[in-house]
Amino acid sequence: MNKTATSHDNQGQPFNRTLFLIIIMIGMFCSNFNQTILAVAQPTLMHTFGVTAATAQWLSTGYSLIVGIMTPVTAWLADNFSSKWLFEFSMGFFLIGTTSCYLANSFNALLVGRLIQAIGGALLAGIGTTMLYSIYPAKQRGTVSALMGIVFGLAPAIGPTFSGWVLDNWDWHNIFGALIPLILLAFILGFFGLRDVVMENKSRLDWPSVILSTLGFGSLLYGFAMIGNLGWTNWQVSTGIIVGSVLVVLFIRRQLHITNPVLKLDIFKSHNYSISVSITSISQIAFAGFEFVLPLYLQTVHGFSAMESGMCLILGALVNAAMSPITGYALNHFNGKRMIRVGLVIMLLGTLPFIFVTPTTPLIEIILLYAVRSFGFSAVQMPVTTMGINGLTKDLISHGSSGNNMMRFTASAIGTAILISVQQDVANQKMLTQASKTSALLSGYHVAFAIVFILLVLGLIMGQMLKEKEVLNK
């Protein structure tokens, strides 16, 4: 067996690293693909089930909400249970949830299926990343960065295109039906190709922390998600945000004062890790939130079909996928901090023109600008994550991975909800004074794109704070 393709598990037994990687990557691809698979399907589902845009948004926001709630617990699970069987358990949940979505005949049934998917997705996000980082030394983690970059960049980006094609040619149920064979393949291969590679550090589960985390993140995300339906001044929104914030603070305080925390906040003692998580959150909003708003603009302002709006994103997906191996190589050999700064500047340049789009903006311009943003994102997301993880000792990798995913998914859910609600609020206000519905909608999109631009400026400022030589985890 080729030594470069061989690694050893926790018992010192050799295994095929290539097969191991393929299985993990399939699982993570399905999970990330699933995040944006309904982006262009929103108008179709709104019409099918007779729900508003804010209600339909729960199919995406609810997914991220569950992932955000569960992610803190994944670090404890990784410390206390077999990484191989955690992966299989997560794929099982994902399979059940996807099958439920495929068979759903009502909005509530579809939403329940999505939430079951999210349980598997939360576990996959934490344990999958931890398993990949555990089989590579710090100096080779640019390879992991490249592999995950392909998944994190390509899968969410081609999701809208794929679902658009399905909607134009088949029934929406087939969006989920097409995923079932791929999930089943990873589930079956996992029995034979996976090994335990994450070091266990058994501890007692602190249930008060779990309750605080669940209620805190759940209330916080619920409050933000309801803004689109109820408005910023509604008591349910304000109560959810305030109560959630208080409980999250109590959760953090408890983790700092108990001996067996669910999430070890020592990870934030690393300067690079703290900064990297902040940049990751910002870039996730700027990419995932933007990716949710752009198809709506294309469909409501330009009058494109679901497939046409999805096709506008495919070049960006291909650029992201093509750049990921290059980014991974560059991270192993060059200055990661500089790569991140350049990537953020490129995202800024690709975002600025969207603030001024019109109903007559050429389609080719939109496609190229989105590709430019994707190019910049590929130079930011995985390098900044790798720099953060490399600032941790090996025993904190699972907690660092969970913390990163918790912030990433929480930011995605809150950011998308805010962008959609702001767009709707601005459009509704403009409709009171303007005769043209298109003009009012366009004003809302302009403001949403401007918010993304401002966030990227903040991310660029934070990028200056990274320390290139803080690599503690050898």
DSSP for 360-403, please give it.
Answer: T--HHHHHHHHHHHHHHHHTTHHHHHHHHHTTS-GGGHHHHHHH
pLDDT at 140: 64
Amino acid at 472: L
Task: Decide if 9 is inside a domain.
Answer: no
| Alpha helix (H) residue ranges in 231-335 | 235-257, 271-284, 290-300, 306-311, 314-333
Q: What is each CA distance from 295 to 212, 272, 300, 454, in whole angstroms?
A: 36, 34, 8, 21
Sign of CA dihedral 190, 196, 197, 203: positive
Q: Is 169 exposed, middle or buried (CB count within 10 Å of its CB: 0-12, 13-18, 19+)?
A: exposed
Q: Are residues 323 and 447 in the same domain?
A: yes
Q: Are residues 220 and 145 in the same domain?
A: no
190, 333: one domain: yes
Which domain-ending residue is among 222, 242, 261? 261
Q: What is the pLDDT of residue 454?
A: 92
Residue 213 resides in a domain: yes
Vertex 439, ends 435 and 443: CA angle to 5°? 125
Same domain, 163 and 222: no
Is there a single domain that holds both residue 403 and residue 286? yes
Same domain, 305 and 246: no
Number of neighbours of residue 440 by Cβ within 10 angstroms? 18
Asked, for residue 376, whether it belongs to a domain, the answer is yes
Would 97 be classed as within a structural domain? yes
Tokens linked to 88: 């299989």
Query: Could you say which of 217, 239, 261 is where a domain stops?
Result: 261
Number of folded domains in the chain? 2
CA distances from 150 to 99, 109, 117, 325 (A): 26, 32, 22, 8
Residues 97 and 28 grouped into a single domain? yes
pLDDT score, position 331: 62
Model confidence over 108-164: pLDDT tens digits? 888 889 889 888 887 887 777 777 777 766 666 666 666 776 676 667 667 777 777
Question: What is the enclosing helix (H) or strand (E) of 87?
Answer: helix 83-103
Contact 391, 471 (CB under 8 A): yes
Q: Are residues 253 and 308 both part of a single domain? A: no
Does residue 200 lie in a domain region?
A: no
Residue 288 in domain = yes
- pTM > 0.75: no
Cα dist from 383 to 266, 315, 330, 378, 416, whole Å: 21, 22, 9, 8, 23
- Cβ atoms within 10 Å of 200's Cβ, excluding its own: 14
Shared domain check, 220 and 174 = no
**Which residues, at least 6 apart from 429, have a Cβ–Cβ distance to it below 8 Å?**
none
Residue 472 lies inside a defined structural domain of this protein? no
> Could you tell me if 228 and 178 lie in one domain?
no
Low-confidence ranges of the chain (pLDDT < 50): 1-4, 471-474
> Residue 23: which CATH number?
1.20.1250.20
In a domain, 239, yes or no: yes
Is the domain of 245 the same as that of 271? no
Q: Which residues form the domain of 318?
A: 14-195+262-463
Indicate whether 171 and 28 sit together in one domain.
Answer: yes
The last residue of one of the domains, among 217, 236, 261, is 261
